Amino acid sequence: MDFRLLQTQALPQAADLWDYCFEKKGTPFYEWYFKEYALKQNRILGGFQDNGKLVTMLHLNPYVLRLRGRDWKIPYIVGVATDPVARGRHVMGELMDTAFTTLRALKVPFVILMPIYAGIYQPYGFAWTHLRKSYSLPLARLDLAGHMIDGFAVERIDTRTAEKVLAPVYERVMKRYHATVVRDHRVWENTLTTAAQENFETVIVKVDGAPRAYALYNREEETVTVQEMLAVDAPAKVRLLQYFKGLAGIYKTLKWLAADDDLTWQQLPDQSLAPREAPFMMGRVLNAAACLQSLPVPENLMGRELVLALKDEQIALNTMLVKVQFTKEGTRLLNTVDDPKVLMDVESFTQLFFGFQGSRDLERAGAIYVADEETREILDKLFPRENNFINEYF
């Protein structure tokens, strides 16, 4: 199998494989993606048979993720696909190995991926990094305030040209979250263009002319589906939900993937309407040493150290036994033969680095070994748990 980054002449093969596995040729997203996005904004890694046929691929879509006090340029892996003629031959494993090696050489420290089925990616070291709350609410019973909230103006606007209105709300809301995407004009344009093509509408809530909340949503059959709903405060969010209740005469159900910290369910009169927990995004650390060295050193860790053992079944260079020293200049990693105070695999390290799980939770689950209370305190300070949110779909 010949693995390489695709050039323009191979793009039709990638489009055919996408058509077989995902959206069909002729659908709006497919046509936009392969005319405006593929190889113009992203990279595609593929595996070719000796006859030149592309049989497996993954797409590396560029994003900036704000995590642990830094903005990271990292790939969002999408479009992972294998032609049925090559399935059962471990070509995906070879594809992942090649991707990991290539990305490490490009100094990419970690990647993200939204799985259709997590079990496909868990053998390659991916772990959950973001959760959401999945609501399915009867619109006729969506009455959170008991009366229409005054002081808000509600307006429907054109989705394609909504960036200037929506971006300030997005930026303000994202300040309270972690592991979020920093959306520049390119990302906004992609998001809104594809949303409009899929018949998503945009509604905004204003106070004194200033946007306070918005939602991207579509209406199909008896269901209103929200792609994104953000509000700078609770009253603005309730007013948005009241807007959706106004659609109850025609539509029956509101489907909405809310942030993990959303508490709307506490205001619902029927506990059976409570949302289900919905794992949303996975991540994978490719260079643990680089991630460790990037961490800000809390003042109360200065002069302290711990010995960490990390095991990575796929990336040999990630497996290490190091003494981690915390100094004014930053985190130092030294080779050591001392007994480790912490034992973990790359999946647990990924969740700690993303702030998705705390070290004590992982220890109770048997996912990591921690030698003593002093080490637990160091891990608490080094990897504080965070409130993660992401809402990108390609």
pLDDT at 54: 98
146, pLDDT greater than 80 = no
pLDDT bucket at 43, cuts 50 / 70 / 90: very high
pLDDT at 334: 97
Domain span holding position 69: 2-108
Tell me the three-class secondary structure of 358-371, residue by residue.
Answer: CHHHHHHCCCCEEC
Q: Where are the beta strands (DSSP E) in the chain?
A: 2-5, 43-48, 54-67, 70-82, 110-113, 127-138, 153-157, 180-181, 201-207, 210-220, 223-231, 253-259, 276-285, 305-311, 320-327, 330-335, 342-345, 369-370
Mean pLDDT score of the chain, rounded to an integer? 97
Has residue 47 been placed in a domain? yes
The verdict on residue 273 lying in a domain is: no
pLDDT in tens, 335-348: 999 999 999 999 99
Residue 189 lies in a domain: yes
Asked whether residue 88 falls in the same domain as residue 152, the answer is: no
Domain count, the chain: 3
- Which element (helix H / strand E) includes 102? helix 91-105
pLDDT digits 0-9 by tens, 181-221 = 999 999 999 999 999 999 999 999 999 999 999 999 999 99
Which of 141-145, 246-250, 274-278, 308-312 has the lowest average pLDDT?
Answer: 141-145
pTM over 0.85: yes
Look at residue 258 and tell me if it is in a domain: no
- Read off the tokens for 223: 């269901």
Residue 267 φ/ψ, nearest 5 degrees: -95, -5
At 50 the pLDDT is 95
d(CA 359, CA 210): 42
CA distance 36 to 243: 34
Q: Which of 92, 108, 124 is the last residue of a domain?
A: 108
Does 91 fall in a domain? yes
pLDDT at 97: 97
Structural domain contains residue 126: no
User: Which pLDDT band holds residue 106 (cuts at 50, 70, 90)?
Assistant: very high
pLDDT at residue 288 in the model: 98
> Does residue 312 surpass a pLDDT of 90?
yes
80 and 148 in a common domain: no
| 127 closest CA partner among 389, 353, 376, 359 | 353
Among 374, 217, 193, 387, which residue's Cα sits nearest to residue 301?
374
Report the CATH number that the domain containing residue 231 is assigned in CATH: 3.40.630.30
Distances from the Cα of 309 to the Cα of 70, 74, 348, 368, angstroms:
25, 25, 12, 10
Query: Nearest CA to 347 among 375, 311, 376?
Result: 311
Both structure tokens of 21: 């596995």
**Any idea what the CATH number is for the domain that residue 320 is in?**
3.30.1050.10
Residue 131 lies in a domain: no
Question: Is 34 within 8 Å of 46 (Cβ atoms)?
Answer: no
149 pLDDT above the threshold of 90? no
